Amino acid sequence: MSTHSKILMAFIAFFTVASCKKENSFPTNSNSSSDEIRSAPPGGNYWIVRQNFPEPTVAAASFDINGKGYVFTGNSSRGINVLWEYDPSLNTWTQKASIPSTKYHNRPAAFVINNKAYLAGGHTDYDVIDRGTSRELWEYNQTTNSWRRLRDLPEGRAEATGFSINGRGYVAMGLSGVNDRIHSDVLEYDPVADSWRTKITLVDPSQNPARTKAISLVINNKAYIGLGWGLDVMHKADLWEFDPVPNVFRRKADIPEGRSGVFSFVIGSLGYVGTGFKSSPTGDVMVDKEFWSYNPSSNNWARRADVPGPPRGYAFGFAIGSYGYAGTGYIDIYTGARDDKFYRYIRSTASSTSN
């Protein structure tokens, strides 16, 4: 068993695959958003409760298309490869088409190009040690509610971060194979040619830049990649700007405390990250509820309103318009307890452009 796999055991409990029960949609929350906003503090920077996610889950992939949020379930009890759509105007969840694959796709990278979503790679079963990693790339068409398989990744990869810039998709960092080989590169996908290539590899003389469970924030056609779990540092704090035109990485400001397994989204010119795993004062792994914004113009991090409910790791997040959304995740990594709570973030009007 590799050192990486031994440490990962602290994160992951045992999972049981259950049969998938179909649902049409879940009802709206009993409290309307207008009622919640009226009772909220003025000026923004707060969270409100939304309709629970249909199942307690962790490590789900998420994306948004045309004003709808989508969550591709991670470790859950309803089965494999299940896709859910969130309608913010109705505050409802609706089950959509599943990937027509016999393989399990756990912790894939996700990105969106021209209103089509792409899921790349992922773990291929529940086993936390002897698991494989998938090479598969699947495209989701929102209009037809259908999937099609495209060109495989060059090699299996899971726990990577995905994003898109100027019509190209990217899969960064992550791990491959049963030996958990950790990556520090960025793969680029061309949807016209249906092809992959290695775009760039991050090199940092001060540390090992390879990592899993990283975040990516795309702002003004640049991606900000960082945090995550590394072989040298369990919870990384560094952030890197990836500029695809000159194809370079630039070191940016560290988040004040290293963390991995966080959710992220972008609203306007700010990136947001929250919750995740970090080290306790005694060196143990602990879950967190902090929420931070990053401003690339000033290269500063700022603490925002904590995510409600218990601390959590491996939550999902996405943004629709001027609102952020986040939910689920581990609330106890040692017992494997998972959550189904889901929240909307109302940003501060004073912090919409600056930290």
Determine the Cα–Cα distance for residues 259 and 237; give it in Å rounded to an integer.
6
CA-based nearest residue to 81, from 140, 32, 41, 127: 140
Determine the Cα–Cα distance for residues 95 and 11; give it in Å rounded to an integer.
28
Which phi and psi (to 5°) does residue 22 adopt?
-70, 140
Helix, strand, or coil here: 227?
coil
pLDDT band at 131 (very low <50, low <70, confident <90, very high): low
Structural domain spans, the chain: 3-351
Q: Which helix (H) or strand (E) holds 38?
A: helix 33-38
User: Residue 105: its pLDDT value, please?
Assistant: 82
Please answer whether residues 213 and 235 qualify as being in contact, where contact means their C-beta atoms are separated by less than 8 angstroms. Answer: no
Model confidence at 11: pLDDT above 80: no
> Nearest-5° angle of CA 148, CA 137, CA 312?
115
Q: Over range 57-79, report the average pLDDT.
A: 85
Q: Over range 90-102, report the average pLDDT.
A: 92
Instruction: Enter the DSSP assignment of 5.
Output: H
Helix, strand, or coil here: 36?
helix
Q: Which helix (H) or strand (E) holds 15?
A: none
Of 31-45, 46-60, 289-303, 316-330, the range with the lowest mean pLDDT is 31-45
Q: State the distance between the two ends of the chain, measured CA to CA, in whole angstroms.
A: 44
2 contacts: CB under 8 Å, gap ≥ 6: 179, 180
CA-based nearest residue to 260, from 335, 318, 179, 329: 329
pLDDT band at 15 (very low <50, low <70, confident <90, very high): very low
Determine the Cα–Cα distance for residues 207 and 296; give it in Å rounded to an integer.
23
Q: Which residues of 53-83 are buried (b: 16+ CB within 10 A; e: fewer)?
A: bbbbbbbbbbbbbeebbbbbbbbbbbbbbbb
Confirm whether pTM is higher than 0.85. yes
Per-residue pLDDT tens over the stretch 291-328: 999 999 999 999 999 999 999 999 999 999 999 999 99
User: Residue 2: its pLDDT value, please?
Assistant: 47
Only one residue has tokens 């049969």, namely 19
Helix, strand, or coil here: 167?
coil
| 241: its two tokens | 């700007």
User: Residue 26: its pLDDT value, please?
Assistant: 42
Model confidence at 341: pLDDT above 70: yes
Determine the Cα–Cα distance for residues 259 and 248; give it in Å rounded to an integer.
24
The class (CATH top level) of 3-351 is mainly beta
Model confidence at 17: pLDDT above 60: no
User: Residue 162: its pLDDT value, please?
Assistant: 98
| 116: its two tokens | 């089509």
User: Residue 75: its pLDDT value, please?
Assistant: 63
What's the chain's average pLDDT?
87
Q: Where are the beta strands (DSSP E) in 98-174?
A: 109-113, 116-120, 137-141, 146-150, 161-165, 168-172
How many CB atoms are located within 10 Å of the residue 198 CB?
Answer: 11
62 contacts: CB under 8 Å, gap ≥ 6: 69, 70, 71, 72, 110, 263, 316, 317, 318
Identify residue 206 by its one-letter amino acid code: S
